Structures are given as structure tokens and as C-alpha cells.
């Protein structure tokens, strides 16, 4: 399933309206944006699709962030059906589905450097009955899925993710989730640094700021990953052989 490196040319992309003509010229001359191609044994990685980043209902981001300061607003709810579809497809093909979400002490002491750059970092959501780290019910993990709890942007930092990928013999990741410019991007850069091939599902990612979202997709596509529309990634996944992986047994493993 490898593809030769070539500078790609496709339809309108999220970042097009933010690029200058000079940017386009420089990227082309420098050779960035070559298509690396998919791996042969991918895992689906769903980054931080939880209440903290989606909110508890569909509403404009300016309203949602009053209660959930990290919410992606309506863009999050637009992405949820796409994320759900890819999870279902991955399970039907027997591909690993790996989630990340956060976790911290009640007193927020272990938030560490997060406290330095956001004045609202210590506050609790105004919807007190919901834990922001709970993965959205529309995309909830199944017993055989893997959930990684992290405290920093990258899913690799301080976690067992790379060990699990070695155990599964994965050579690549298909990444979706949030925030595009933060946890998604940090995770993609670390995956690249571990010599994994990465495909990012463009319309399966979201965040609060439109410019940050678009330009982070652009940067990842230029240097670290193939950023692709969901239809193209879906076609690749549908063509994979089923049963490639020895997945966790989940509830089936209980006596």
C-alpha cells in the first residue's frame, strides 16, 4: 500500500484561504507536501474526543466555551459522526482502536505547565455532573479498545502508547480528534519521530480557532503526515485485509 513520493495536488483544502502566494511558491520549490502513502498495519488513534473538547450539546463555540473552555463548538459536533464511522469501520476490519483522554488530580496540582498559559485552567466545567475527560458517548470505547490517559499534548508523552503499537506490530497511524493545533499535532509529530507513517483525517479533526486548525493541518501535511479527506482514508481502510491484529480480548477475556 505504499505510494511513491510526489508533491500532491488535490481540491480545496482547509488551509487554502490562509496561504499567501509566496507561501505556495516556497512550499512547492522546497519540495514539501510529498505524499508518503499509507502503512500496511495501521491503528486508528482518536485524540481527546471528550466533553472537555466537545461540550455537552451542539452550540456555537462562543457559547460552548463559556462552560467548556476548550470546546470546539459546532465543528466538534460536525466531526463526531465522522469519528464514529471510522471507529465502526476499524472494528469491522479488526483494526486497533486507541483513544486518548486526559486525567488529573482533583486539586489540579499535576496540571503543571498547563497552568502557566491559560487563566481558566483551574476551573471546573459549569456542567458539574459531567467529567470533561469522559469520552463522548457517540464514540465510546468498546471493551476491546485501548484507552490512553495522558497529561500533556502528545499521546506518546509519558504513556505506554509506543509499547502498545510495538505489541500490535503497527507501522502506521490514522489520526483524528482534537485539538488540531495542540494534541493532534503534537501526537503526529511524535509519531513521525518514531518513524511511523501517519494519515490525518482532515474532516475528522477540529478545534476552537479556525486559523490554527487550518494552518496546523497545512503544517502536518507539509512535513509530518498525509492530511486527507475522510473519503480517501475510508477507501484505503475498506481495502485492508480483515483480522490482521491480535487485539485485546476485552470482555471476552473475563472468566
pLDDT of 165:
98
| Beta bridge mates, 50 | 135
In a domain, 18, yes or no: no
In a domain, 81, yes or no: yes
In a domain, 223, yes or no: yes
In a domain, 30, yes or no: no
In a domain, 154, yes or no: yes
CATH of the domain at 221: 3.40.50.850
pLDDT at residue 253 greater than cutoff 60: no
In a domain, 2, yes or no: no
Range of 213's domain? 39-241
pLDDT tens digit string along 162-219?
A: 999 999 999 999 999 999 999 999 999 999 999 999 999 999 999 999 999 999 999 9
| pLDDT category of residue 13 using cuts at 50, 70 and 90 | very high
In a domain, 5, yes or no: no
pLDDT of 159:
97
Distances (CA, A) of 244 to 86, 128, 188: 17, 42, 23
Sign of CA dihedral 124, 128, 131, 133: negative
pLDDT of 250:
86
In a domain, 12, yes or no: no
pLDDT of 207:
95
> Number of folded domains in the chain?
1
What are the backbone dihedrals phi and psi of residue 193, each rounded to the nearest 5 degrees, phi first? Answer: -65, -25
pLDDT of 122:
63
CA 91 – CA 246 distance, rounded (Å): 13
Nine cell digits for residue 11: 481540491
pLDDT tens digit string along 47-101?
A: 999 999 999 999 999 999 898 988 999 999 999 999 999 999 999 999 999 999 9
Amino acid at each position: 500500500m505504499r505510494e511513491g513520493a510526489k508533491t500532491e495536488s488535490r481540491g480545496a483544502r482547509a488551509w487554502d484561504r490562509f496561504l499567501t502566494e509566496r507561501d505556495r511558491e516556497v512550499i512547492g520549490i522546497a519540495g514539501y507536501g510529498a505524499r508518503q502513502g499509507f502503512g500496511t498495519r495501521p491503528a486508528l488513534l482518536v485524540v481527546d474526543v471528550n466533553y472537555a473538547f466537545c461540550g455537552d450539546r451542539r452550540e456555537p463555540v462562543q457559547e460552548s466555551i463559556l462552560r467548556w473552555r476548550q470546546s470546539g463548538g459546532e465543528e466538534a459536533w460536525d466531526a463526531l459522526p465522522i469519528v464514529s464511522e471510522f471507529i465502526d469501520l476499524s472494528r469491522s476490519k479488526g483494526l486497533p482502536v486507541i483513544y486518548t483522554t486526559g486525567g488529573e488530580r482533583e486539586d489540579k496540582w499535576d496540571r503543571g505547565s498547563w497552568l502557566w498559559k491559560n487563566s481558566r485552567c483551574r476551573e471546573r466545567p459549569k456542567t458539574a455532573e459531567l467529567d470533561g475527560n469522559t469520552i463522548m458517548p457517540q464514540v465510546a470505547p468498546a471493551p476491546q479498545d485501548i484507552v490512553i490517559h495522558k497529561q500533556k499534548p502528545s499521546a506518546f508523552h509519558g504513556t505506554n502508547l509506543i509499547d502498545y503499537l510495538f505489541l500490535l506490530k503497527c507501522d502506521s497511524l490514522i489520526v483524528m480528534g482534537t485539538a488540531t493545533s495542540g494534541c493532534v499535532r503534537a501526537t503526529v509529530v511524535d509519531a513521525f519521530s518514531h518513524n511511523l507513517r501517519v494519515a490525518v483525517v482532515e474532516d475528522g479533526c477540529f478545534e476552537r480557532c479556525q486559523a490554527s486548525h487550518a494552518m496546523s493541518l497545512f503544517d502536518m501535511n507539509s512535513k509530518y503526515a498525509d492530511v486527507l479527506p475522510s473519503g480517501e482514508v475510508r477507501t484505503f481502510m475498506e481495502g485492508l485485509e480483515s483480522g490482521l491484529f491480535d487485539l485485546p480480548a476485552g470482555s471476552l477475556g473475563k472468566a
